[in-house]
Amino acid sequence: MSQISPMKTDGSPRFRQIVEHLKQDIAEGVLPAHSALPSERAVAELYGVSRMTARRALEAMEAEGLAYSKQRKGRFVSPKRLKYDISNMVSFVADAQSGGTDLEIELVSRGKAKADRSLAPALAVTVGEELLEYTRLFRIKGHATFIETEYVIASRFPDLLTRDLRQSTTRLLEQHYRTSARSGDIVIRMRALQADEARLLGLAPHHAAIELEQVIRDKSGEAFCFGRQVWRGELAEFSAKAIVNG
Amino acid sequence: MSQISPMKTDGSPRFRQIVEHLKQDIAEGVLPAHSALPSERAVAELYGVSRMTARRALEAMEAEGLAYSKQRKGRFVSPKRLKYDISNMVSFVADAQSGGTDLEIELVSRGKAKADRSLAPALAVTVGEELLEYTRLFRIKGHATFIETEYVIASRFPDLLTRDLRQSTTRLLEQHYRTSARSGDIVIRMRALQADEARLLGLAPHHAAIELEQVIRDKSGEAFCFGRQVWRGELAEFSAKAIVNG
DNA sequence: AAACCACACTGGTATATACCAAGAGATGGT
DNA sequence: ACCATCTCTTGGTATATACCAGTGTGGTTT
């Protein structure tokens, strides 16, 4: 951390000035990725402001994606964004691992579920159809980055839940069930984290996030998997290819 | 607005309880889309909390995309999300207008620019190449929804800036320059609004937003337009199609 | 060496208060 | 009828203070 300046009167709000100062420290490498930012109380003292003002500054850092907070541990500098090509259905997991990304998968839960009114149309099954459901937490370089919940049609993938789900499911389904992904429909939106998601990602609730839903289809065009990923929005960007109509 | 309840001690923070109460009013239609939420001071009095707590509640509504604020005018209920299919390059404008969406375009600025280090590679030109640049603000049902800045190669589209830019540029370029979009490369990311963007959208700065960048190519695969859209993230969702590798 | 507990420190919540600047509407003078 | 001004309301910024609930550390006890 570089030293403070008085900078009383430059027009912009005090908390903005603090944000700019912290940004500078990050840009100059004084504060590298994943290093701790000064605490709310430390910022208050360093810059001679009240704790609420220090808090506003640090919350602005979060809102701008420059920092993330771990509950009651402190705030840390965000790393560079991860790129994710959504047009190419080759599994994100397989792709990342072959690209050398340090990716860990933690199985959070698994079980049976029944298709409800929102899932049934996506998978083209009747409401009440038995599904398998599993939720996994993905860490990149040890940092929780996104949560994925997938739903597959139970009758089509017997014993899936007894297998090791800490790997690419694309690969798993290919090897054991001769089902491979051919196309998908994807929806991306911004929304706030729910309490349980925030807990898994180690973030404060209500934090803005990116939700990515995808329906995965086989070569006959039949949907066999519905997945919902919740990403720490400041950590990723999504690329796609577009082609004129059809 | 329905009446308040004491709900002192249900475990969750006081401001959360207020959020839930307001959510309920929205879900029940007591507060329709674009209607005003009670002001910070009104919430404070209605629920018997301090203004700072009322503020936290209303800010949480914003963070969750349920409300938006107009600077110093008040907070309002967000409308339903707009769907935007990014896989189909048919112009958003043409598509929306044919679909009956009430869409207005305001030209914010236009002028010449030179390709810098970030634009030049995207458009496959040399740094310093002359470009035309224009920024437009898009309103849907009268509400500012996104800002778009497009850059095109000047030599290829003479007099473009003298034409009426309050229409689909896809159509404009087709009719006058026999250039039509065939494919595109798109990147979507979440980021915070900059001050000038916030002003145009009538929102508070630092608000989370969706940035959508696209490089548009003609039938020979040559890039002729680079566009950057900044969307109010809570107002839209983006769909895409994916196909296994290639 | 392992288990435990106390303490310091973190962010999270909350109150009360104060002043500013921008927007909206009423008021009043021309 | 028009325009300027005054006033009220709004969110935006800021201070000072208080207590709570997890986290991690270090020292003490077993």
pLDDT at A7 over 50: no
Residues B95 and B161 in one domain: yes
The confidence score (pLDDT) of residue A3 equals 38
Instruction: Flag if A240 and B240 touch (Cβ within 8 Å).
Output: yes
Residues A95 and A51 in one domain: no
φ/ψ of residue A192, rounded to 5: -90, 150
Tell me: do A64 and A137 sit in the same domain: no
Sequence-distant (6+) residues with CB within 8 A of B54 are B15, B18, B40, B41, B42, B43, B44, B47
Element (H, E) at A228: strand A223-232
Mean pLDDT, range B68-93, rounded to an integer:
86
Q: B96 with B208, same domain?
A: yes
CATH number where B62 lies: 1.10.10.10
| Nearest chain B CA: its distance from A154 CA (Å) | 24
Domain end (from B62, B77, B92):
B77
The pLDDT of residue B138: 92
* Pair A105, A26 in one domain: no
| Average pLDDT rounded to a whole number, residues A86-103 | 80
Question: What pLDDT sits at residue B113?
Answer: 96
Whether residue A205 sits in one domain with residue A114: yes
Question: Testing the interface with B: which of A20, A78, A190 to mutate, by most B Cβ within 10 A?
Answer: A190
Q: Is residue A2 one of the residues assigned to a domain?
A: no
pLDDT tier at A246, thresholds 50, 70, 90: very low
- For residues A68 and A57, give the distance between their C-alpha atoms in angstroms, rounded to a whole number: 13
Residues B132, B178 within the same domain? yes
Average pLDDT, chain B: 89
Q: Which residues of A touch B179 (CB under 8 A)?
A: none
Which nucleotide's C1' atom has the smallest distance to the CA of A36? C10
C-alpha to C-alpha distance for B110 and B92, rounded to whole angstroms: 20
B interface test, pick of A81, A215, A243 with most B CB neighbours within 10 Å = A243
Q: Is A88 on the interface with B (CB under 8 A)?
A: yes
A188 touches chain B (CB under 8 A): yes
Q: Which domain holds residue B53?
A: 14-77
Residue B5 lies in a domain: no
Question: How many domains is chain A partitioned into structurally?
Answer: 2
Arithmetic mean of pLDDT, A56-69: 90
pLDDT score for A245 = 67
Q: Please indicate, yes or no, whether residues B115 and B214 belong to a single structural domain of this protein.
A: yes
Q: Residue A52 domain-assigned?
A: yes
Is A59 found in the same domain as A101?
A: no
User: Could you tell me which residues are beta bridge partners of residue B190?
Assistant: B210
pLDDT exceeds cutoff 80 at A9: no
Contact B30, B1 (CB under 8 A): yes
Q: Check B88 against A190: CB less than 8 A apart.
A: no
pLDDT digits (tens, 9 = 90+) for A116-129: 999 999 999 999 99
A199 and A100, same domain (yes or no): yes
Which tops the pLDDT comparison, B117 or A2? B117
**Chosen domain end from B77, B100, B121:** B77
Let me know if residue A5 belongs to a domain: no
Q: Are residues B159 and B212 in the same domain?
A: yes
The CATH number linked to A97 is 3.40.1410.10
Q: Are residues B89 and B143 in the same domain?
A: yes
Is A180 a member of any domain?
yes
Which residue in this structure is represented by tokens 């044919």?
B98
| In A157-197, beta strands by DSSP E | 183-192
Distance CA B191, CA B19 (A): 24
Q: Which residues in A lie closer than 8 A to residue B63 (C-beta atoms)?
A: 192, 206-208
